[in-house]
Amino acid sequence: MKLIIAGELPFIDEIGTLCLQAGHDTHIFLVEDFIGALESGYEMDNLADADIVIECHNESAATKHELLLALSSVVSPQTLILSSVLPVSATQAAAWVTNPSRLVGFGLLPPIPEKGLVELAPALQTGNSALADAALFWQGLQQEPVMVADGPGLVRARTVCCLINEAAGVLMEGIATAADIDKAMQLGTNYPHGPLAWADHIGLDAVLGVMTGLFAEWGDDRYRPSPLLKRMVLAGKLGKKTGEGFYRYGMEE
């Protein structure tokens, strides 16, 4: 199948790797590159016959809206659209595309294993055939589909990002260092990754996007983004993809 993947790191790389390993004709774009190409008048006729679009921008609802509009303008009105619904609901994402019955929300959280689980969330507009096609596609990537109710963050991202947000609060209050917080959670509770190191891998901008989406959806203080998390994103300290987040990567101390 011919696929378009557009969004942000590390999501596009990790999902793209799964698609390439499955033998799909895969075209991968950073969100700014895809939108910029369309705005400059670059012709994307070679993408018009794509079978599936995978949209995975999780930082900003406004940019996600722009990307989904751009993607849906390039492909056929029948092309299946899989949208990462971590910062917004699938119903909201579907409202931003033409023929919303073809959009299915999904949730994957880096690091993505070669054999794992994907959460699928149908929008109120999602058609039964689109949902069935989405499940078959993810099965082909060795990701077992599990149906969950619609809403920002779904299950894993909502739970993990809330944990990260709380860990950022502990760090901001000076209770422990980043390394000690991560060690406490890994050795003390058997988490697969320390929450702050996990945040660096996911991208602090994506974590903030999830928390912002949850807070906008529910208005509950438990979802209010940590001030430290917001400041780090403003400073461009997004984690591994920028070389610095809660830890530093590939640079001199």
- The answer to whether the beta carbons of residues 242 and 205 sit under 8 Å apart is no
Look at residues 143, 104, 107 and name the one whose alpha carbon lies nearest to residue 124: 104
- Residue 251: its pLDDT value, please? 58
Architecture of domain 2-147: 3-Layer(aba) Sandwich (3.40)
Q: Given strand 116-122, what is the order of strands in its sheet?
A: 25-30, 2-7, 52-56, 80-84, 103-107, 116-122, 143-147
- Residue 41: its pLDDT value, please? 66
Q: Where would I find the beta strands (DSSP E) of 62-193?
A: 80-84, 103-107, 116-122, 143-147
Look at residues 46, 6, 1 and name the one whose alpha carbon lies nearest to residue 28: 6
- Residue 48: its pLDDT value, please? 87
- Residue 42: its pLDDT value, please? 64
The ranges of the chain with pLDDT < 50 are 252-253
Residue spans per domain, the chain:
2-147, 156-242
Three-class SS state of 16 = helix
- Residue 17: its pLDDT value, please? 97
| Radius of gyration from C-alpha coordinates of the chain | 18
Architecture of domain 156-242: Orthogonal Bundle (1.10)
- Residue 39: its pLDDT value, please? 76
Which runs of consecutive H residues, i.e. helices, occur in 22-111? 31-39, 61-74, 90-95
DSSP 136: H
Compute the distance between CA of residue 160 and CA of residue 200 in angstroms, rounded to an integer: 13
The two tokens of residue 27 are 């075209």
Compute the distance between CA of residue 83 and CA of residue 12 in angstroms, rounded to an integer: 12
- Residue 253: its pLDDT value, please? 38
**Structure confidence by residue, pLDDT tens digits, 33-64:** 998 888 776 656 678 899 999 999 999 899 99
- The answer to whether the beta carbons of residues 6 and 71 sit under 8 Å apart is yes
